Structure 1
Amino acid sequence: MNGSVHQKYINVVAIVPPPHNGMTAVSRKFVTELSSQFSTNEFLVSKPGFVRRELWPIYRQLAIFSKLIEALCKTKGPIYFVLDSNKGIWANLLLHLPLFMFSKRPLILHHHVFSYLNSRDARVGWISHLLGERAMHVVLCTCMQEKLQTLYPGARNAIAIGNARFLNIETTHRESAALNKLGFLGNISREKGVHVFMDTVRRLSVLGVTLEAEIAGPIADKSVWNDIEAFVNEAPDSRSYIGPVYGGDKDRFLAGVDVLLFPSEYSNEAQPVTIFEGIASGMPVLATNIGCIPEQLPKDWVFSRADFVEKAAHLLEEWCRMPAKFFAATQEASSRWRSEQSEAVLQYNDFVELVDAHLA
């Protein structure tokens, strides 16, 4: 148990790095923030090195189930828990929900995915209905909160806390007005939009604009690797794939790129940390209009999937012709990050007050 300001405690059951992704990184930092405000018992799950990638989903569910039982047996007080996605929601419904119902504990349920907010998922409906007033639902943005409460009337208690609150990134102001390099950063797959990125670079070439293009991130699908290799080989002097980047390598990647493209089609995409990392570094980010992204970025930088290649290419072509406009965009990126960070701090403070009152 960690010391606290309020001398009250929350029992945290969560997945933290590894694996390294936006959700686990935010979970780790959220737990750290909780422990600075409340006493916490931490029941954390990470991926051991001996667990193969394809076995991780099964291992993860068994580990969470075990940690949840341990938390309920050894402690009293509320449980903080992160709702899963896709097939993992079956575990939430069939394994975790009965334990929550039996224990009658207050719950803080953190939602990090958008897939069950695009359309109603009966499993989430049962979870929110049966937990009712006992659950406080934490979401990432206003539109998430609205959709959650519209689709799941049982989720009456909901509050938005942006991921920006949990990212310790200093704002960078760029001095250069030159647009020379585009970047793609993420877990590389078709769903994450790497092919849209490559098509946008090709469209720029047709428009007579040649920019460097650098792709960074892990690749699991061999067919995607083959497509990236072909893309690089079309113009090896200006295109590259540099593999996964973490820590200082990621910082150097972001510092060396002028515009980040984030044309994701991933159904779980909610409030991508990568976008915040981009704008915090003074870099415009062009993205698709899914999840919370329209609230993260200026509206002129957000496009539908169908329009992305054409509209992104024309905006980039304009920025190349008009350096003053591009420089203004870099300043807007930095300003947007400061605004998002300030709003998220206020949201988190409201959350602390609600939890504190609940535990009083």
Structure 2
Amino acid sequence: MYAEAIKAGIEVRRYDTAPPSLDRSLGVRLRRLKKIVGALKVLWHFGREHPEGTVYCSLSGGFGLLYEVCLIGVARVARLRVLVHHHSFRYLDRPFWPMHLLVRAAGPKALHVVQTRSMGEKLQQRYPRAVRVLDMNNTIFMGSPISARQLLSDRTPFTVGYMANLSRAKGLDDMLQLAELAQRAHSTMRFKIAGPFENPADEAQYRQRLSRLANVDYLGPVYGDAYKAFWQNLGAFAFPTRYRNETEPLVVHEALRHGKPVIALGRGCIAAQVGDAGHVLPPDGDFAHEAWRILSEWASDAGRLEHLQGLAHAQYNALHRESLVALTQILQQIKSKPTQDP
């Protein structure tokens, strides 16, 4: 949002309150607390200098929300308008008392930005005090749609891509099981897997499984030209995430942007992301066997696959247009003068 606000000519003061690392030690928590105290002071002085200003806060998914309750509370006292951006389903799938506190602190005039309409509906059902909700998907922070001409590629043999921070939660076990099914069936289907292992302690056993799969190319982390090359010659993209806080994975948008139909488990906003451009399975279902059946059908029907690839491209274009409209609404609110006190 920072870059978009700057491009819109909005004066922005940015303050980073993120923890210095993912370590949960006392030292890291104390350093973050020091950051929060500094942010509280900045907010208070900003409110006195800019009584018609807005505070934008990207929210945590866990108990970090308690820090943000303090920030938003000071923003309200300083008479700043409040705009909060939600990125987690943790407090949507089940009640979470820190979010109750945050919604109360933000007040009825706060604008809650979510990724999809269904996410907004869940937010309001769970926390009725969140009165004003606007959905803006994450394609706004990604590249422009790729032209249909650029999507053409040689798709023989049929290849399925998968990219993630590799772990059981992100679906690596499901992908390996899928590749094992294909290998036992003597299928010509191939798989490209990219990304770092999330837990170095698990890497050895996963590499051992990979070494037994002749139909899998493990590429490791990919950047730059290697990242672009990953998307070439894919027939489809798979994302069997079981991560409980999954919301709107950017890699699914990236697959659609490259015209790749997606088969995934329906966590978070994934069903709304994919739409008709693929197949979304129940979030706790048997991914490997169902995906093997569906991907085999796609691979054997060139006409259907081409149609799905066109739908993937169209889905990304539609989502990107929607996100541009939502961004315009957000920036207009920030620029406008409040009609009443927040």
Equivalent position of 1:36 in the other structure: 7
Equivalent position of 2:23 in the other structure: 54
Q: Deviations over 1:84-126 (max 9, x none)?
A: 1123223223x43443343232111011111111112111011
Question: Which of 105, 109, 112 is the aligned partner of 2:80?
Answer: 105
Equivalent position of 2:184 in the other structure: 206
Equivalent position of 1:245 in the other structure: 222
Q: Secondary structure at the match of 2:232?
A: helix
Judged with a 3 Å threshold, the aligned counterparts in structure 2 of structure 1 residues 272 and 62 are, in CA distance, closer, same or farther, namely farther
How far is the alpha carbon of 1:73 from its aligned partner? 2.1
Question: Which of 264, 267, 270 is the aligned partner of 1:290?
Answer: 267
TM-score (norm 1): 0.82
Equivalent position of 1:66 in the other structure: 38
TM-score (norm 2): 0.86
Quote the Cα distance in structure 1 between the aligned partners of 2:133 and 2:11. 22
Equivalent position of 1:336 in the other structure: 315
Matched residue type, 2:207: E
Judged with a 3 Å threshold, the aligned counterparts in structure 2 of structure 1 residues 72 and 253 are, in CA distance, closer, same or farther, namely farther
How far is the alpha carbon of 1:293 from its aligned partner? 0.8
- Give percent identity, aligned residues only: 22
1:282–1:331 contact (8 Å) kept in structure 2:
yes
Query: Number of aligned pairs?
Result: 327
Quote the Cα distance in structure 1 between the aligned partners of 2:177 and 2:112. 39
Quote the Cα distance in structure 2 between the aligned partners of 1:358 and 1:294. 37
Judged with a 3 Å threshold, the aligned counterparts in structure 2 of structure 1 residues 68 and 43 are, in CA distance, closer, same or farther, namely farther
Q: Deviations over 1:49-104 (max 9, x none)?
A: xx6652696355643552343243244221111111123223223x4344334323
Matched residue type, 1:128: V
1:186–1:216 contact (8 Å) kept in structure 2:
yes
Equivalent position of 1:86 in the other structure: 62
1:228–1:241 contact (8 Å) kept in structure 2:
no
Quote the Cα distance in structure 1 between the aligned partners of 2:10 and 2:327. 17
Matched residue type, 1:352: L
Equivalent position of 1:96 in the other structure: 71
Judged with a 3 Å threshold, the aligned counterparts in structure 2 of structure 1 residues 275 and 64 are, in CA distance, closer, same or farther, namely farther
Q: Deviations over 1:251-305 (max 9, x none)?
A: 2212253322111111221111111111111111211111111111135511013
1:136–1:157 contact (8 Å) kept in structure 2:
yes
Q: C-alpha root-mean-square deviation of aligned residues, in Å?
A: 2.5
Q: Secondary structure at the match of 1:209?
A: coil
* Correspondence list, 1:197-276, <5 A: 197-235=175-213, 237-276=214-253
Quote the Cα distance in structure 2 between the aligned partners of 1:62 and 1:194. 38
Q: Deviations over 1:11-38 (max 9, x none)?
A: xxxxxxxxxxxxxxxxxxx211122224
| Structure 2 unaligned spans of 5+ | none
